[in-house]
Amino acid sequence: MTEAVMEDQVQEVLDKLRPFLLRDGGDCELVDVEDGIVRLRLLGACGSCPSSTITLKAGIERALLEEVPGVVEVEQVF
């Protein structure tokens, strides 16, 4: 799978999760996909929330690992 295809699939999953983030005043932005590592920037309330690491790892990363073949990790960038 090319990184462009993986990036499109990652964006589709993020679009499904986005309403939950927006409900809490946050959002996320896809920065990059390289070698199975997805880099995201958390925005709004998510950027400064103490629970953002849990949101990123337990929520977003889990969904991406389940739904997008080839994703191995999600990293937060600032």
Condensed to tens digits (0 to 9), the pLDDT of residues 19-61 reads 999 998 999 999 999 999 999 999 988 888 788 888 888 899 9
- 71, 6 contact by CB (below 8 A): yes
Rounded Cα distance between 51 and 55, Å, is 6
Delimit the domains of the chain by residue range.
Answer: 3-76
End-to-end, the C-alpha distance of the chain in Å comes to 27
Predicted local confidence at residue 40, as pLDDT: 96
Q: What is the pTM of this model?
A: 0.90
pLDDT digits (tens, 9 = 90+) for 2-30: 889 999 999 999 999 999 999 989 999 99
Nearest to 30 by CA among 48, 5, 45, 8: 8
Question: What CATH class has 3-76?
Answer: alpha beta
Q: Report DSSP letters for 45-70, one per residue.
A: HHHH-TTHHHIIIIIIIHHHHHHSTT
